[in-house]
């Protein structure tokens, strides 16, 4: 137990330190963009954490999806653990993406939301599904029936990804963008790329640390509930 | 009397949470037998009854029903529900009756008699023997607790009473709420039913009912069962009989039930129309207070009231939640309950008239500014919205599976339905500016409506069929 | 809206830092609380068994 706590704390500290360094480098070391080429040239520095948040939420949603499938098909406890951690992490990092993304979009492109952007819309939908799952897990008794229903909601969330892909493709055809902007994936300068990779690795450490502790908390909650039931039965006897 | 088994539970293990409520249970219900389940509170008596009804997931084991001596029908195993149960009588712990039903309607549905072969004398006699005949036209919500319980008990017994063929009867705490005279009547009636070959399983704490058992099953801690011989008390009395067979509860029964409940108390219609009209009035004030709006915004405002009616939670869910009414229908209809309920819960009638109303209020005498085709084809986008309503209804039903569904933020899942709405708004704005196009291009309103419907139907399929797969 | 986007940048980072910091605080306080409560339960069980 102490080992788990210590290991996860180490991961989190390393991750936070790395992430903090990436902000400092991003603000102080990487030069600004040319103001004549973009709106709100300083706002691009959101990228260093925004992309890492997006990557971590992708990992979390993947964990949620794998957990949903495993529980749905096999009713295996490991599936439920993946599911629980995935939904908590998905909510945390998803919230970061859908708050920082529109802020960036409102400055850089003049509109906070783009219905034609597959990633933004998918993350928003999956984050709302994750929010539902986190709230439902706290409000409901932990029974197999609850787990079955929630794992189906998890799978429903994933069925939305291809549906959203279809819908955003249609939307882009109906509403072609007026200004073509270069995304962060095309031709990044090397210094920006370096800070981005540093941030990404740091966030992986944070993700692992958070996941270990979150899983530990879920296991302890289960243990506490079993202890409570034993105490209840002992009192009745 | 016929010999053999009516149902069998084989190597059954059932979990409630992490606790194994039933463990390695092997049980057979014989023809003409009364089996009483006893045990402490929370020992698993209701779980046993619900396992026999095939609505509880099994960790291991199987449930069989025997149509006759040779044919064994697997109803459920650890993979899920395999087939529907044959006709049974069932009384649930919380009655399983919606308050809007009348006494007569309820016993008709329970005994699964069609209106064509409805024998009013026999059902009237049953109601009369139980002191309910004078209340047969009253709504169940107006009955006292004791009378409701009597109705619930006779609805559990009526299918067997009026069946020429022996069947299974499951009764969960039937004596709770019954006074002494009703209890004696109950004991004698189940003894009479047993003499006709019907098999009866009763979960109870009541000593009088326990004494009428042929076999007693005690559910012990850790889910094991222990059998003992009962005293087989009870007297055979005169009871109505019937030679005509009844129909299985069908989709038609549920549909006519849902329609009847809504006509009697139109909470679904009112609950949908009210916010839609509020939205329409707000849209009107926005339009009046501003200069000309773009066609995109206008088309969204025109479709908004219809969209709102589609995403409101269906009233049938509240009706199902009342006294475990939905559980009764789930037992009777099996895996068909979810698709049909989501269909019945969707707003079918309101979207089209509301859209035309929106048009006349928001556009009014400015119709000439838009394409001539618009009014003629204005029904098409709201027709697609009906599929959005079905998807929404299915999502609400999925959330209602949770025990404390009122504590769940189910509306978060409806965000996905924004996409079909955007597609339909676009289709309407194209219709308003360029008129109808019959081409298969993505710009065509027809294709836009098809895409919206396809996305909604895909969501509906996932949400309706995954839970029972 | 600022012309350089500096204010928006600050708001976005405050939100992201707040999310991470808040979650770290939540995790460790929840963990400590659970450990304390489980220890109390186990002590109670031991004392009941010894009675």
Confidence of residue A181 (pLDDT cuts 50, 70, 90): very low
**pLDDT category, A232, cuts 50, 70, 90?**
confident
Decide: A and B in contact? Rule: 3+ Cβ pairs under 8 Å. Answer: yes
Instruction: Check if A217 contacts C (Cβ < 8 Å).
Output: yes
Distance CA C43, CA C9 (A): 51
Could you give the strand order of the β-sheet that contains B88-91, starting from the edge strand earlier in sequence? Answer: B88-91, B168-172, B199-203, B34-38, B215-219, B225-229
Chains A & C: contacts with CB separation below 8 Å? 95
- pLDDT-above-90 percentage for chain B: 55
Is it the case that residue B227 has pLDDT exceeding 80? yes
Q: Which of B399, B459, B467 sits opposite A163 (nearest CB)?
A: B459
Can you name the residues that pair with B5 across neighbouring β-strands?
A: B30
pLDDT given at position B246: 63
State the burial class of residue B131 (Cβ atoms within 10 Å of its Cβ: 0-12, 13-18, 19+). middle
Instruction: Nearest chain C residue to A48 by CA: give it.
Output: C13
pLDDT at C7 over 70: yes
The pLDDT of residue B425 is above 60: yes
Could you give the strand order of the β-sheet that contains B72-77, starting from the edge strand earlier in sequence? B19-30, B5-16, B60-66, B72-77, B80-81
The string of pLDDT tens digits covering residues B201-219 is 999 999 999 999 999 999 9
Chain A residues whose CB is inside 8 A of the B398 CB are 149, 152-153, 156
Q: How far apart are CA B152 and CA B130, in angstroms?
A: 11
Q: Does C43 touch chain A (CB under 8 A)?
A: no
Q: Does the CA dihedral B323-B327-B331-B337 come out positive or negative? A: positive
**Within an 8 Å CB–CB cutoff, is residue A4 touching chain C?**
no
Question: Bigger pLDDT: B437 or A236?
Answer: B437
Contact list in B for residue A141 (CB cut-off 8 A) is 17, 403-404
B294: DSSP letter: P
CB A47: neighbour CB atoms within 10 A? 20
Tens of pLDDT, residue by residue over B330-368, are 998 888 889 999 999 999 999 999 999 999 999 887 888
As a whole number of angstroms, the distance between CA A167 and CA B415 comes to: 14
Q: How far is CA B401 from CA A136, A166, B56, B317, in A?
A: 12, 29, 12, 10
Structural domains in chain B, CATH included, are: 5-229 (3.40.50.300), 251-465 (no CATH)
C31: closest chain A residue by CA: A217
Nearest residue of A to residue C16, measured between CA atoms: A96
Q: Please report all neighbours of B, defined by 3+ CB atom pairs within 8 A.
A: A
Instruction: Give pLDDT, residue A150.
Output: 94
Mean pLDDT taken over chain A: 85
Instruction: Reduce the DSSP state of residue B16 to 3 states and report it.
Output: strand
pLDDT above 60 (res B27): yes
Query: Which chain C residues are within 8 Å of A214, Cβ to Cβ?
Result: 27
pLDDT in tens, B1-16: 567 889 999 999 998 7
Q: Look at residue A226 and tell me whether its pLDDT is greater than 90.
A: no
Cβ pair B362, B302 in contact under 8 A? yes
Query: How does pLDDT run across B272-330, given as a tens digit for each residue?
Result: 999 999 999 999 998 887 778 889 999 999 999 999 999 999 999 999 998 889 999 99
Indicate if the pLDDT at residue A2 is higher than 80.
no
**Cβ B403–A75 below 8 Å, yes or no?**
no
Shortest CA distance to A55 belongs to which of A215, A195, A212, A201? A201
Give, in degrees to the nearest 5, the angle at Cα B23 between B18 and B24. Answer: 145
pLDDT at A216: 93
Query: Does residue B428 register a pLDDT over 50?
Result: yes
By DSSP bridging, strand B215-219 and strand B34-38 are parallel
pLDDT value of position A40: 67
**Binning pLDDT at 50, 70 and 90, where does residue B389 land?**
very high
Mean per-residue pLDDT, B69-78:
76
Torsion-angle region of B206 (φ positive above 0: left; ψ -120 to 50: alpha; else: beta): beta
Average pLDDT of the segment spanning A180-205:
77
Q: What is the pLDDT of residues B235-284, one digit of tens each?
A: 898 888 776 666 677 888 899 999 999 999 999 999 999 999 999 999 99
Contact B189, B28 (CB under 8 A): no
Residue B29 has pLDDT above 50, yes or no: yes
- Closest residue of A to C37, CA-based? A224
Q: Do A136 and B408 touch (CB under 8 A)?
A: yes
C-alpha torsion angle, residues B309, B315, B316, B322 (rounded to 10): 170
- Predicted pLDDT of residue B444: 87
pLDDT of residue B48: 94
Q: What is the pLDDT of residues A135-163, one digit of tens each?
A: 999 888 888 888 999 999 999 998 888 88
* Contact state of A43 with C5 under an 8 Å Cβ cutoff: yes
What global pTM score does this model have?
0.87
pLDDT mean across residues, chain B: 88
Question: Which one has a higher pLDDT value, A6 or C1?
Answer: A6
Q: How confident is the model at residue A182 (pLDDT cuts 50, 70, 90)?
A: very low
Q: Dump the DSSP string for B32-94.
A: T-EEEEE-STTSSHHHHHHHHHT-S--SEEEEEEESSSS-EEEEEETTEE-S---SEEEE-TT
Binned at pLDDT 50, 70 and 90, residue A179 comes out as very low
**Mean predicted confidence (pLDDT) in A188-207:** 90
Partnered with residue B170 across adjacent β-strands are B90, B201
Question: Which residue of chain C is at minimal alpha-carbon distance from A35?
Answer: C4
Q: Of the candidates B275, B279, B294, B292, which has an alpha carbon nearest to the alpha carbon of residue B428? A: B294
pLDDT value, residue B67: 74
Task: Report how far residue B267's alpha carbon sits from residue B262's, in angstroms, rounded to the nearest whole number.
Answer: 7
| pLDDT confidence bin for B58, thresholds 50/70/90 | confident
Size of interface A-B (CB pairs under 8 A): 105
Q: How confident is the model at residue B222, as a pLDDT?
A: 81
A74 vs B contacts (CB less than 8 Å) = none
Q: Does the distance separating the beta carbons of C8 and A106 come in below 8 Å? A: yes
């Amino acid at each position: 137990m102490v080992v788990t706590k210590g290991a996860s704390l180490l991961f989190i500290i390393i991750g936070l330190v790395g992430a903090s360094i990436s902000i400092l480098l991003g603000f102080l070391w990487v030069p600004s963009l040319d103001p004549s080429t973009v709106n709100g040239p300083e706002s691009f520095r959101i990228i260093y954490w925004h992309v890492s948040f997006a990557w971590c939420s992708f990992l979390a949603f993947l964990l949620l999806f794998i957990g949903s499938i495993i529980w749905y098909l096999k009713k295996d406890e490991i599936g439920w653990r993946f599911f629980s951690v995935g939904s908590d992490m998905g909510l945390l990092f998803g919230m970061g993406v859908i708050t920082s993304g529109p802020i960036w979009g409102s400055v850089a492109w003049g509109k906070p939301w783009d219905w034609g952007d597959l990633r933004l819309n998918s993350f928003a939908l999956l984050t709302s599904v994750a929010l539902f799952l986190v709230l439902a897990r706290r409000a409901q008794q932990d029974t197999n029936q609850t787990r079955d229903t929630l794992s189906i909601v998890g799978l429903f969330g994933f069925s939305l990804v291809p549906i959203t892909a279809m819908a955003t493709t249609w939307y882009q055809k109906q509403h072609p963008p007026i200004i073509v902007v270069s995304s962060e994936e095309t031709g990044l300068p090397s210094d920006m790329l370096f800070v981005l990779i540093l941030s990404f690795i740091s966030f992986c450490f944070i993700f692992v640390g958070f996941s270990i502790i979150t899983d530990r908390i879920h296991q302890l909650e289960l243990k506490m509930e079993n202890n409570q039931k034993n105490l209840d039965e002992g009192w009745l006897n | 009397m016929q010999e053999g088994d009516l149902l069998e539970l084989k190597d059954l293990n059932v979990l409630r949470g992490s606790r194994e409520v039933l463990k390695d249970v092997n049980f057979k219900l014989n023809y003409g037998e009364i089996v009483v389940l006893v045990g402490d509170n929370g020992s698993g008596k209701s779980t046993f009854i619900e396992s026999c009804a095939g609505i509880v997931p099994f960790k291991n084991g199987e449930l069989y029903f025997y149509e006759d001596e040779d044919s064994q029908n697997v109803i459920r195993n650890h993979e899920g529900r395999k087939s529907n149960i044959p006709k049974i009588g069932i009384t649930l712990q919380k009655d399983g009756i919606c308050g809007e039903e009348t006494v007569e309607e309820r016993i008709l549905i329970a005994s699964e008699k069609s209106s064509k072969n409805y024998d009013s004398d026999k059902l009237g006699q049953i109601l009369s023997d139980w002191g309910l005949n004078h209340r047969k036209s009253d709504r169940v919500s107006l009955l006292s607790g004791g009378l409701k319980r009597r109705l619930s008990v006779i609805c559990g017994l009526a299918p067997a009473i009026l069946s020429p063929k022996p069947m299974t009867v499951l009764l969960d705490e039937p004596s709770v709420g019954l006074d002494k005279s009703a209890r004696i009547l109950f004991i004698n009636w189940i003894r009479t039913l047993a003499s006709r070959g019907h098999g009866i399983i009763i979960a109870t704490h009541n000593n009088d009912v326990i004494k009428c058992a042929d076999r007693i099953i005690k559910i012990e801690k850790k889910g094991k069962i222990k059998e003992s011989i009962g005293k087989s008390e009870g007297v055979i009395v005169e009871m109505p009989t019937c030679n005509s067979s009844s129909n299985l509860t069908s989709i038609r029964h549920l549909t006519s039930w849902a329609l009847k409940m809504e006509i009697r108390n139109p909470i679904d219609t009112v609950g949908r129309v009210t916010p839609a009209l509020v939205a329409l009035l707000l849209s009107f004030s926005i339009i009046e207070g501003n200069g000309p709006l773009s066609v995109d915004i206008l088309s969204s405002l025109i479709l908004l009231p219809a969209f709102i009616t589609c995403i409101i939670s269906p009233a049938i869910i509240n009706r199902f939640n009342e006294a475990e009414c939905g559980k009764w229908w789930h037992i009777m209809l099996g895996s068909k309950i979810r698709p049909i309920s989501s269909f019945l819960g969707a707003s079918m009638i309101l979207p089209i008239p509301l859209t035309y109303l929106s048009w006349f209020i928001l556009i009014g005498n400015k119709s000439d500014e838009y394409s001539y085709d618009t009014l003629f084809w204005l029904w098409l986008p709201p027709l697609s919205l009906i599929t959005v309503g079905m998807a929404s209804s299915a999502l609400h039903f999925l959330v209602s599976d949770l025990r404390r569904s009122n504590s769940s933020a189910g509306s978060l899942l409806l965000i996905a339905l924004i996409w079909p709405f955007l597609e339909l708004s676009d289709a309407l704005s194209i219709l308003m500016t360029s008129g109808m196009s019959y081409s298969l291009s993505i710009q065509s309103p027809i294709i836009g409506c098809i895409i919206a419907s396809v996305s909604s139907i895909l969501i509906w399929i996932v949400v309706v069929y995954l839970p029972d797969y | 809206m600022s012309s350089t986007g500096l204010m928006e940048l600050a708001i976005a980072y405050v939100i992201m830092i707040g999310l991470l910091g808040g979650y770290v605080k939540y995790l460790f306080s929840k963990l400590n609380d659970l450990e304390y409560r489980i220890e109390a339960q186990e002590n109670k069980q031991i004392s009941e068994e010894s009675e």
